[in-house]
Amino acid sequence: MRSILVLNPKGGSGKTTIATHIAAWYALAGKQVALVDYDVQRCALDWLESRPTDRPVIHGVDGTQTRTRVPRNTEVVVMDAPAATHGKQLSELLRRAQTCIIPVVPSPVDLHAASRFIDELVEVGRVLSRRVRVATIANRVRENSPGRLEIEDFLRSMKLSDGRRLPFVAALRNTQNYVHAAERGLSVFEIAPSRAAHDVELWEPLLGWLESRRSLPT
Phi-psi region of 209 (alpha: psi -120 to 50; beta: other; left: phi over 0): alpha
Q: Using the CB atoms, write b or e for 91-101: b if 16+ within 10 Å.
A: eebbeebbbbb
Sorting pLDDT into bands at 50, 70 and 90, what band is 198? Answer: very high
**Residue 173: DSSP 8-state:** E
CATH code of the domain made up of 2-213:
3.40.50.300
Instruction: Report the DSSP beta bridge partners of residue 5.
Output: 79, 100
* pLDDT, tens digit, 9 for 90 and up, residues 107-116: 889 988 988 8
Sorting pLDDT into bands at 50, 70 and 90, what band is 57? Answer: very high
Whether the per-residue pLDDT at 128 is higher than 70: the answer is no
Sorting pLDDT into bands at 50, 70 and 90, what band is 159? Answer: confident
Residue 18 in contact with residue 184, Cβ under 8 Å? no
Whether the per-residue pLDDT at 94 is higher than 70: the answer is yes
What number of CA atoms fall less than 13 Å from residue 158's CA on the CB side? 29
User: Angle between the 108-122 and 146-156 helix axes, to the nearest 10 degrees?
Assistant: 10
Whether the per-residue pLDDT at 147 is higher than 90: the answer is no
Whether the per-residue pLDDT at 126 is higher than 70: the answer is no
Sorting pLDDT into bands at 50, 70 and 90, what band is 218? Answer: confident
Rounded mean pLDDT of the chain? 92
pLDDT of residue 161: 72
Residue 12 to residues 8, 9, 33, 82, 136, Cα–Cα distance (Å): 9, 9, 25, 11, 15
Domain ranges of the chain: 2-213
Sorting pLDDT into bands at 50, 70 and 90, what band is 12? Answer: confident
pTM for this structure?
A: 0.95
pLDDT of residue 194: 94
Length of the chain (residues)? 218
